[in-house]
Amino acid sequence: MYAQDEKLANNSYYTATAQPLPEQSSLQGQVQADVCVVGAGLAGLSAALELVNAGFKVALIEGKRVAWGASGRNGGQAIAGYACGEEPFEKQLSLGEAKTAFNLTLEGLDLMRARIKTYDIDCDWVDGYMTASVKPKSSAGLFEWADRMADVYDYPHLQKVSAQQMPEWVASKRYHAGVLDKNSAHLHPLKYALGLARACLEAGVAIFEHSIVTEIQYTDPVVVKTAHGQVKASFVILAGNVYIEELAPKIAKRIMPVGTYIIATEQLPHDLANSLIKNRIAVCDNNFVLDYFRVTNDNRMLFGGRVSYSGITPPNLPVAMRKTMLRAFPQLDSAQVEYCWGGFVDVTVNRAPDFGRIAPNVYYLQGFSGHGLILTGIAGKLAAEAVRGQAQRFDLFTKLRHLPFVGGKYLRTPAQVLGMAYYRLRDYL
């Protein structure tokens, strides 16, 4: 997985525009800690920061570099709610518990804002996010959802944007109507993640980079081994998502790595950049196979959304994605693509998050399903609470049942490719 993902990490706009973290040493010899966190993405960084601030000795192990995976390469949309919507929670839990789960994402938004302020993280934060429909028939469902979120979930931040109003918000004939979430936002995810990492280091977290975990001994204390060292810890939090298949095969069956890709144009004239999206909010359509886009603070169009369930990077990716962008914004015809990158997100069958325990002292966080910029932060906080003996909020998520992907390790990919072909066809109809 690491070797395959290395190619997708190249030519990232985020990497090119973020101040890198000083390289941390790899794990050498034996280290003793209260808690060992595996994976230095947003979930792992969040858990580590919460725990070190509570007085725990924390070792954070990363196979590559901090935020190397999805945490540092995603679309940058900080969105309330879940990729699965409310349905899986309402089907498996009480309505009160479903509301609690939704409100935890709002807490996640507040947590992100608070950390940006507390740790003085400059990460290009912009308020506002819109879900847009591409067809009249999907606008009706979108508006019904907005009404239900206000009535049932007491979420007052949604504003319906009619077909007549839509051109005022998005300068594209492709989008029919929309719902603006004034509480959600977008940001530079790598700048934010590296800001959390610096906060962790200043607070005393021992971060080890270039330290791929080769084995975990589920004992007490737990032993986490790498090629050149090991950590003994009373607790372990696995936050490696798509990179933990060999370490935890039982839960790995319930996630699938899905490739997703983004382009960023060259810098646009300021007036053109301002004309594309009102207030420079982030926008995402409501197709099953969706597109998302936003204008960066340095006047580039960032456009993403093409996915691959086969694990194979699509050919001629920059050209293909530019074509999709021009379908929405033909006025960018003269703009060249300067950056093109991608990565893998961890998707569950029902798109709901999958949190739980492998052993009484080993917690895991996975299944963010492409909607994890906010959720990873609150997930790390909940795992830290569980380590501290306050597991009530964490255990809300352990009540969710998750199925393995059909076909096992080798047949699940072709099965998903066929399934996605159906959903792509449905989006076009």
In a domain, 273, yes or no: yes
Regarding pTM above 0.95, the answer is: no
In a domain, 141, yes or no: yes
In a domain, 297, yes or no: yes
In a domain, 427, yes or no: no
In a domain, 181, yes or no: yes
Rounded Cα gap, residues 230 and 407, in angstroms:
35
Rounded Cα gap, residues 360 and 341, in angstroms:
38
In a domain, 376, yes or no: yes
In a domain, 91, yes or no: yes
Q: What pLDDT score was predicted for residue 409?
A: 55
> Domain of 204: which CATH number?
3.50.50.60
Rounded Cα gap, residues 352 and 54, in angstroms:
29
Q: What pLDDT score was predicted for residue 5?
A: 67
The structural domain count of the chain equals 1
Q: What pLDDT score was predicted for residue 185?
A: 98
Supply 19's token pair. 């101040």
Q: What pLDDT score was predicted for residue 54?
A: 98
In a domain, 316, yes or no: yes
Beta bridge partners of 60: 37, 207
Rounded Cα gap, residues 176 and 129, in angstroms:
16
**pLDDT tens, position by position, 279-335:** 999 999 998 778 999 999 999 999 998 777 666 777 889 999 999 999 999 999 999
User: What are the backbone angles phi and psi of residue 395, rounded to the nearest 5°?
Assistant: -70, -15
Q: What pLDDT score was predicted for residue 408?
A: 56
Spans of the chain below 50 pLDDT: 2, 411-412, 414-429
Q: Domain range for residue 343?
A: 2-414
Q: What pLDDT score was predicted for residue 245?
A: 75
Q: What pLDDT score was predicted for residue 282?
A: 98
